[in-house]
Chains A and B, each alone.
Chain A
Amino acid sequence: MDERILVQGNEAVGRGALAADCRAFFGYPITPQNEVIEWFAREFPKHGRIFLQSASETGSINMLTGGAMTGVRAMTSTSSPGWALMQEGLSNLTAAELPCVIVEVQRGWNTTRHAQTTYKSATTGGGFGDYRTIVLAPASIQEIHDLLQLAFYLADKYRNPVVVLSDAILGQMMEPLELKTLDFGPLPDKDWALKGKAGHKDGKKRFTPIAYGMIPTRKYPTLLDFLGAYEKKLKEMEKEVRYDAYQLEDAELILIAFGYVARISQEAMFRMRAKGLKVGMIRPITLWPFPAQIVKEKAATGASFLVVEDNLGQMVDDVKIAVEGRAQIDLVSCLARHLPGEEGAIYPEEVIKKIEHLLKERGK
């Protein structure tokens, strides 16, 4: 029977990883995700799994590279400054086609508190390579747990790292969590994994360089062979769009928000609906690939959009691309926080204020 417990978002990361049969975790302390590494340090050895503390986030991501080379499910977690340090490693993981999961519990600027400031670097490939990773954005503790499992599945399916973009608020808050193991279907064998020649059916060498194409292999004799194959993979990954839509049918104004801000925006939407205003909402679950199609379709019906995000405006660019200039787009950014210090957050009242202003502007 599935168990129901009350946990913090950061602990839900570990619970999800365990359900996904993750075998190894590498991490370095950084606020606000310390509960993640502490959970793994405490619980993973009990389950015969590997926990190893690195000497930096650069260390974590490169340990993860080695872990992923063995073919087991492996992961790391960090927060924004550590995320920045991991970008070279993330580039290499994509270039070596190594499946793994990276949890980024976002904090903002030079504070240790919540924000959504790594949207851009996560969705556009923040490292040196020409790559993308699927980015999953949970908005609840249950979803952190469930998306962790999906992340491992998608990583294995595409042999590409997957990023789970949490934030300080989701990480710190507590909610009920239903523990369940999700089955997404069969996956290909990891015949490429390093085990030593004795571990391979054919007894032949396996080779996992971080530079496919530059270093000739049977699979990718040249650089363009690799890039061509990677481009095909990107096209496949682009089909993995996931989002939640709320009351879009008659919506004249559509909010777009992810993560903790989606919870706030949803509250604003409910209050507007209670007043009879036609406000809907799209919550991207995959930030890359971005749910552009639904945005485009709604733009064609004459709806306008209000993007709400706790940064100076990052996701709003993806919305602009999606609507192709055919709809009005407005933004509620971190400048609408309720307090001027790092403890400030975007509250429903500010979103409502903006909605009312926009609707009034249009004489409705």
Chain B
Amino acid sequence: MKKEWLTGTPRLWIRAPVPIVFCPGCQHATALKIMCELVDEMGIEGDTILMAGVGCSTMSAMLVDFDAGITAHGRPCDAASAIKRILGGKSVVVTWQGDGDAFAIGTEPTLHAAARGEKITTIMVNNGNYGTTGGQLAPTSIMGQVTTTSPEGRSELQGYPIPVAELLANLRGVAYSARGSFTSSANYQRTKRYMKTALQKQIDNVGYSFVEILATCPPNWGLSPKDSLKWIEEKMIPEFPLGEFKNVDRIT
């Protein structure tokens, strides 16, 4: 493992005295660091606007050193659709969301933005629960997963997890849909490539692009950061397989 990508702070990560409340071992921050790196590497710092919803994702809007906003819970895709249509041109509009934000309370805006083929990019960090509020059942909690609102483990009582990346890949307006993780160096690099491709689809004006990232949530999972990685590999990936589910250069 190379040290620089695990410990370095990207140029576009704000060091100002804002409260940084990502928990130890949380990979939401890892995803955001990659985003900052990509915006820098792709030379789109002056054109990028990030829309965060509510949850752990909210902090991302404070931390990135490019234009950003915070919307109502679940509603970044509504706001982002409007922003992109108004600004058009070179603007790159990214929604930064958690799984609850994007696909529980935000199902309508996310699904419809994708169906409309909005030229925006959604990064959905999937940690299988509501992190900020203390680890409740999410639409992506896996079967058997114990959360504070499924204390006996998720069962047919709560119904079944939503495979968001696969679901969105079925929509015609979607140019790109993929799922990655950070469980290994190879997966880290692959996920970064997915995110870059998603941004490129928007820059090329193809359609809606989406990347789901499986990420650890050690405090709410009640696991150490290391065991959390193992949990993703052993429990989450079998439910949510990694890979690209749609990748087209033209919507037909």
Q: Which residues of A contact B (CB under 8 A)?
A: 23-24, 26, 50, 52, 54-56, 58-59, 62-67, 69-70, 72, 74, 88-89, 92, 96, 194-199, 203, 205-211, 215-216
Contacts and interface: CB of A to CB of B under 8 A. Distances in A.
18 contacts: A23-B86, A52-B85, A55-B109, A62-B109, A63-B81, A66-B78, A66-B80, A66-B82, A67-B86, A74-B86, A92-B71, A195-B91, A196-B47, A205-B14, A206-B68, A207-B67, A211-B70, A215-B70
Contacts of B72: 62, 65, 88-89, 92, 210
B61 A70 contact: no
B82 A207 contact: no
B145 to A, nearest CB: 29
Contact of A67 (B62, B75, B82): B82
B144 interface: no
Determine chain A's interface SS by DSSP, over half rule. mixed
A70 B68 contact: no
A62 B70 contact: no
8 nearest CB pairs, A to B: A198-B46, A66-B79, A66-B82, A62-B78, A62-B75, A209-B70, A67-B82, A208-B69
Contacts of B64: 205
Nearest to A91: B72
Nearest to B116: A52
A244 B184 CA distance: 71
Contacts of A88: 72
B87 A55 contact: no
B82 A64 contact: yes
Given A195-B67, A207-B61, A65 B108 contact: no
B47 A198 contact: yes
A194 B85 contact: no
Given A54-B78, A198-B46, A207-B61, A66 B67 contact: no
Given A65-B78, A70-B86, A207-B61, A196 B70 contact: no
